[in-house]
Amino acid sequence: MFRSALTLVIGSIACTLASAQTMTLSTSSSDYQITNIFSDVDFFTITIEIDAPLAAGVYINPQLISVDYQVTGDLQAGTPSEFPSFDLLRSMTGAEFYAQGSSLSFEIAETAVLSDGVQVAELVGNEIVFTFNAREVDNKRFHPALFELNANGRGRIQNSNNVPTQNPLVEVAFGAEYITDLTFDAGNTTLLTETVVVSVSNGGGGGGALSPWSISMLMLTAVYTAARRRHKRSKT
């Protein structure tokens, strides 16, 4: 009974599920040795889902599914914002990220070994090999981050050249709020991994994500249905 039910549910899932790959970019302050240059920013996280499979190539403002990042710190007196500290937490779609003036760029080398993700050493370039610029225009925020990594195991996170307000015009230069230098092992710092996204497909286009709970319910339903059929046959 269980074998036939399992065959049924596997066949059902095979007919209704489709998978796709996306890239997940994830990094945080815990991956780096922190040296504060101006102000005291020592905590940040960046998570980006890129709507493309993990593969070698040039990525300049690729299509993004989501962008989430947080930067926290204490600020030195005399910054443009005049805030003593800040905790900027942003969560948005890729379209919103680009619409506000932000950008993302990097290149994965043809020689990159993708099975363990992409390390910084597998990005192309002799100087800056990765740039995440979360610049925002006319939104009253002073602290959006510019995050850059170099091929030599050095990097920096600082505020972008933001324009918090346009009327009256207020401009914030690069690093006028905070500057934090980063050091890391380029060969052992993983920046990009691949994520398999499972979705429902009915063969006619469209569909939605199928959760592990839904898959479990499909299996239970198949087992129950097979048991009922077996019981009916035994009575006839």
User: Which residue in this structure is represented by tokens 């959760």?
Assistant: 211
SS3 state at 200: strand
CA proximity to 107, closest of 133, 140, 130: 130
- b/e map 211-226, b = 16+ CB within 10 Å: eeeeeeebbeebbeeb
> Can you tell me the distance from the alpha carbon of 78 to that of 15, in angstroms, rounded to the nearest whole number?
62
Task: Mention every residue, 6+ apart, whose C-beta is less than 8 A from residue 227.
Answer: 1, 5
User: Which residue in this structure is represented by tokens 């302050």?
Assistant: 29
Give domain limits for the chain: 2-15+200-235, 20-195
* Rounded alpha-carbon distances, angstroms, from residue 55 to 23, 116, 185, 207, 217: 9, 12, 22, 25, 34
CA proximity to 72, closest of 105, 33, 36: 36
| pTM, full prediction | 0.77
Structure tokens at 221: 């339903």
Residue 216's pLDDT is 53
> Can you tell me the distance from the alpha carbon of 194 to that of 52, in angstroms, rounded to the nearest whole number?
9
- Cβ atoms of 199 and 211 within 8 Å: the answer is no
Residue 75 CA, distance from chain mean position: 27
Q: What is the mean pLDDT of each run of 10 residues along the chain (236 residues)?
A: 47 54 97 98 98 97 98 97 97 97 97 97 97 95 97 98 94 97 98 81 52 52 53 50
CA proximity to 22, closest of 71, 62, 60, 70: 62
Structure tokens at 69: 């990042």
